Structures are given as structure tokens and as C-alpha cells.
Structure 1
Amino acid sequence: MNKLFIILFLLTPSFAYATWGAFGSKPIYKEPLAYPRSPETGFATNTSEYYGKRVYYFEAIIGVNIPCVTYENRNLILQFGMQASTWMDLGYKNGAFPLLTQDFYLAAPATFRYKDFSGAIKFNHISSHLGDGVDVLLDEVLTDEEKAEYEKLKGRPSVDVPLSEPVTYSRDYLSAHLSYDFSIHGVQSKIYGHIGYIHKVHPQGLKPWFLGNGFESTYYMKYFAPYYAQDVTWNQDMDSVDYSSQFGVIVVPDDNALFEMRLAATIYIGSDRRGQMVGRRLKQFGFGLFIR
């Protein structure tokens, strides 16, 4: 009994500093800016080559990161929340915006922050849908001879004319993330690493591991903060090392702001991570407005 009282006596100062909160906190783990599947909200104009032809399209992103429960004890903060996001590629043709591809993302993250370290363990789900397909944009760039060749193919039996066919693509995976914040001569920086294992995937047969790292550097001024961010991730499903980067400016929010806004040029070189395009090589460049 005496030992029990001693243990409670030692723990009492720790509990005195502990606080709990629900839905009122900000996320304690900040998702990487350059990682192509970080949940946020934004709109970008992108360009890439598709079957050797350059196409232009819009990317609309709707995402949210909701902290549900937060526990804080001195320098240690623990948080459990929910994340959801969708990425939609929209073309432009005949005054309308055909839906090209759409990917959906859901996650349940358990995150922590201790001084300058932060991280997360997440259960994630991604699935995708083709929409009208990128093929609709080719009508703007194909020559008359190429269009005539496609018309001939339509009349032949057992010939699939569409360049992209809808496929069932979804994956459930576990991921772990760790980052470290530091400052050098007024430049706020972060380095991070992440690893993941896909335990359920369609189409079957894709290999399960991915591993990556990246860094971000931001120089804060009174109203704006120039920044550069990059991510390099090896995806075993396509045995591809994928490079993604952003450089732009952050509009410095005040202390009571609900969100942070930034303008950025974007680059992605690697295996296409859109579910309907997995396996294709992609060199994509763009410019967009992002909010988180």
C-alpha cells in the first residue's frame, strides 16, 4: 500500500499539467507540402505529355484534416483525428470541364509532438475513378491523319479504341511519419521521413512497400514567406523513385487565422500516382493556390 501511495505521489505533478481537448485544436503534425497526396484544399493548372502529346488540365483538391481528441502534458502532445481529401483532374473542351480522373483518400492518424519532433501513425485508404478519361483532351492535339486512323480502328472487331480503360484501383495501407523542425539564420526548416506498407490493393500483384524523405525551408517576413519543399519517395509497386517539389510564397497568417494560404509552382517527375494512370511515367508541371 505504501508503494502505491508513493507512485501516486510521483505521478500527481505530471497529471496536474495534463489537459484534454476535443475538436478545438489545430493539427500538431503538419503534412509535407511537396508530397503529392497530402490532404489539403487547392486549385492548380497542370501540363504533361499523354501518349506523346502535350495536354493541359486543371487539378481541384478538396481536403480536410480534423483533430478529434488532443492530450497535452508539458512538452508532449498526443492527438487523434481524421483526414479526407479528393483530387480531381478537369479538362476543358467545348466550353465544359470534363472530369478526367478522380482519387479519394481517407485516413485515421494518431499523431504526436515532442519539442521539435513530430510524427504520425496512419491507417489510409485510397481509391480512384476514371471519369471521362484523359482521352477527351487528345481531340484537341491529334492531327487529321491521326484522327482518321482512329476512325478506321473503330470499324475493326476486337480492337479497343479508347486509350485508357476504367480499372478498379484501391489500396489500404499503414504508414509511419517522423519529422524534425529546426532554424538556421532565420530560415525555418523541416526534414522528414515516411514508410508505408500496403496490405490490400487492387489490381492485385502490386508490391506493397514505399519509403521516402524530404525537406522544407521557409523564410518568414512580415506578410509573405518564400519557401521551397521537395519530396523523394521510392514506390515499390512501380519500382520507381518519384520526385516532387514546390517553390512559392506563403501568405503569413495572423495568430487567429483558421488556415494558411500559399501560391506555388509545382513539379512532379516519376510514376503517375493517380490510380487510373498507375504505371505511366509522368513529367508534370503546374502552378496553383493551396490552402491548409
Structure 2
Amino acid sequence: MDPSKKVFGSRTHKQHRSLTGRLFVLGSLMMWGMAVSVSAESDLVPDVEVSKADGGLRFFPSNDVFRPLLADPKERQFFMSLLSVKTPAQTFTAWSVGFGESLGLVRWDGKSFQAQLGFLAGVFSQFNWSTPSKDLINTDFTFGLAATHRWHDFTGRLQYYHQSSHLGDELLLNNPIPRLNYSYEAIEEVLALENSLFRIYAGGEYLTSRDPADLKPWNIHWGAELRGGDSPAFFRPVAGLDITWKQQHSAEYNFSVKAGLEMGKPALRDRHIRLLAEFYDGYSPYGQFFDEKIRYWGAGVYVGF
């Protein structure tokens, strides 16, 4: 590859706005429809573990009050995805892998309110499978604290975390591109309305410390999910749409869509395997390349414990 070209490249603004405009309208309509469905199905109880005794304090709970976001490409979870990545500079095959989880430390269970405090950590790496040496492109490391809460059908997650990003050795050897020291600390709150079939969510993020210093601090995040409900069936359909707006790219939106099957017993909601088709269009979610356009599609295996 020509060293002068960016690793992920950049699409023209006119082409990107045309696509993102259509996706924005589609996503907004999907979220509106799900909001109506959530209100209509409010009698369905979300499948979240609840203590049998009101006012119970528990240490090291087995699951979380806030369900991980299905379509967020940077949600901390265990997965591996085979992707076809397309940029104006090149098209290549990539493996994207992630290792991450949240560990609950202490939880309060009340009659209608629950709150939990815990740790979170994750690692996200991408490999260029079209190169002879299967180059490691980039790795993002993230860790922090999370406070999650639930009141009836409303849930939320407040987290403070650090992220740092590092380029792969093979990439630097084969492409003498300038290295960027990209890291930040951020505080984020996401609020959701959900039942056993649907969830809609929205939130915001502020980067309290950032490198490079000119990285703009505000991000907005929203999306919607569809699940197979509380059916006793071992297989359940799942789908999610995740949209982000970043002040760094104020005229653009980033879209992530994932859909497929979830396998596992409903009683053990955090223990599952998901087979998902996925699509992404927008600025790269991979740390070092945050300022470059990318589009990919493929399929992945996601494991919850």
C-alpha cells in the first residue's frame, strides 16, 4: 500500500451526507416506532435479576442492572467479527476482536429501584487479514468505573473511564505514518426505556481530559434495540441500531447496525452466544483513526458470561 495513503481513507462529504441523511431518517423512524411499542407493552417485565427481598444489599452480583448496548461497536464484551472494510483508499478483509466485561462489586435491590457499582474494562483490536503478515492495525484499551441504576422500566449507566490507543508494529513498519498519541478520560451517562421486547436509549459524553488537546469534548449517543422477549425458546431474534454524533465531526453521524440470533436460556440472560450480521458507516470507531471515514459489513460471534 502507498505509505502516503491513509490506512482507512476518507470518503467525500457529499457522498457521506447523502447516505447518512437517509440512515438518520430511517433510524429516527425506527426509534419512534419502538417508543410507541414500549409504551403499549409496558405490562411486560424486563428480564433483569431482582432480589427476592426488598432493600437487599448484595456483593458481587451475577449480572448488571443495565443491559450492554447491542449495536455499540465499543461496548465492552467478548466477540470476534470478520469484516469487509471499504475506504476510498482501499478495500480489505479484517478481523475485529474484543475482550471486555463489567464486574459488579455491590448492588442495592429495592422494591422498584436498583443501583449497582462496579468496574469495567475492555480491549479492542483490528487485524488486516489481506496482508501476508496479518497486520495488527490498532488496539484500544479502556477501563473505569460504572454506576448503573433501574427504576421501573427506566435504566441508566453512568461511567467514568480511560481509553488509550496503540498502533500495531507491522502497520508502523510497512506504513511509515505519523503516530498519534490518542487517549482521553470521559464521563458518560446513558438513559434507557425498556421492556422485554424493546429498548430505546440516549445519552451524552464529555471528555474531561484528552490528547491531542484540540480533540473536541462533546459526544451524543442514541439508539434502539429489538429482542425476542421472554419466550422460553432457546433461539431469539435480536437487532440494534446505534447512532453517535461527535462534536469533532459536527456535520456527520456514525451508524452501527447489528442483527441476528441469540442463543441461551432466558433465565440466564447474561449467558448467551449471539450470531450477528453487522454494518457500520461513519468515522472510524478505532482510536488512532478517529478522524477518518470508514464503512464495513460482515458477521460476528458475541459471547456473554
**TM value normalised by structure 1:** 0.79
Q: For residue 269 of structure 1, give the secondary structure of its aligned residue in structure 2.
A: strand
1:29 corresponding residue in structure 2: 66
Give, in whole Å, the separation in 1 of the partners of 2:157 and 2:269: 24
**1:100 equivalenced with 2:147 (yes/no):** no
Instruction: From the superposition, tell whether residues 252 and 83 of structure 1 become closer, same or farther in structure 2 (CA, over 3 Å).
Output: same
Shift of 1:223: 1.8
Instruction: From the superposition, tell whether residues 40 and 72 of structure 1 become closer, same or farther in structure 2 (CA, over 3 Å).
Output: same
Which of 267, 275, 278 is the equivalent residue of 1:263? Answer: 275
Shift of 1:97: 3.4
Give, in whole Å, the separation in 2 of the partners of 1:203 and 1:289: 34
Which amino acid is the alignment partner of residue 125 of structure 2? M
Give, in whole Å, the separation in 2 of the partners of 1:51 and 1:164: 17
Structure-to-structure mapping, 1:218-233, within 5 angstroms = 218-220=227-229, 221=231, 222-233=233-244
Shift of 1:291: 1.4
Give, in whole Å, the separation in 2 of the partners of 1:107 and 1:124: 4
1:10 corresponding residue in structure 2: none
Q: For residue 276 of structure 1, give the secondary structure of its aligned residue in structure 2.
A: helix
2:120 corresponding residue in structure 1: 83
Q: For residue 172 of structure 1, give the secondary structure of its aligned residue in structure 2.
A: strand
String of CA shifts for 1:9-53, please: whole Å, max 9, x gaps. xxxxxxx83111111331110121111111100000112124521
Which amino acid is the alignment partner of residue 78 of structure 2? T
Give, in whole Å, the separation in 1 of the partners of 2:170 and 2:70: 27
Which of 215, 226, 229 is the equivalent residue of 2:224? Answer: 215
1:13 corresponding residue in structure 2: none
Q: Is the 8 A contact 1:133 1:164 kept in 2?
A: no
Which amino acid is the alignment partner of residue 246 of structure 1? K
Unaligned 5+ segments in structure 1 are 1-15, 140-161
Structure-to-structure mapping, 1:66-77, within 5 angstroms = 66-77=103-114
Q: For residue 104 of structure 2, give the secondary structure of its aligned residue in structure 1.
A: strand
Instruction: From the superposition, tell whether residues 280 and 95 of structure 1 become closer, same or farther in structure 2 (CA, over 3 Å).
Output: closer
Give, in whole Å, the separation in 1 of the partners of 2:195 and 2:56: 26
Structure-to-structure mapping, 1:73-152, within 5 angstroms = 73-92=110-129, 96-132=133-169
Unaligned 5+ segments in structure 2 are 1-52
Which of 180, 198, 202 is the equivalent residue of 1:193? Answer: 202
Shift of 1:243: 0.7
Shift of 1:135: 7.5
The structure that has the greater radius of gyration is 1
Which amino acid is the alignment partner of residue 209 of structure 2? K
Give, in whole Å, the separation in 1 of the partners of 2:200 and 2:154: 10
String of CA shifts for 1:228-265, please: whole Å, max 9, x gaps. 10011101122231111101111132525762210101
Which amino acid is the alignment partner of residue 178 of structure 1? L
1:175 corresponding residue in structure 2: 188
RMSD of aligned alpha carbons = 2.1
Q: For residue 116 of structure 2, give the secondary structure of its aligned residue in structure 1.
A: strand
**1:40 equivalenced with 2:85 (yes/no):** no
Q: For residue 72 of structure 2, give the secondary structure of its aligned residue in structure 1.
A: coil
Q: Is the 8 A contact 2:135 2:171 kept in 1?
A: no
Which amino acid is the alignment partner of residue 76 of structure 1? F
Which amino acid is the alignment partner of residue 165 of structure 1? P
**1:55 equivalenced with 2:109 (yes/no):** no
1:145 corresponding residue in structure 2: none
Give, in whole Å, the separation in 1 of the partners of 2:107 and 2:290: 37
Give, in whole Å, the separation in 1 of the partners of 2:265 and 2:249: 39
Q: Is the 8 A contact 2:277 2:298 kept in 1?
A: yes
Q: Is the 8 A contact 1:171 1:202 kept in 2?
A: yes
Q: Is the 8 A contact 1:101 1:133 kept in 2?
A: no
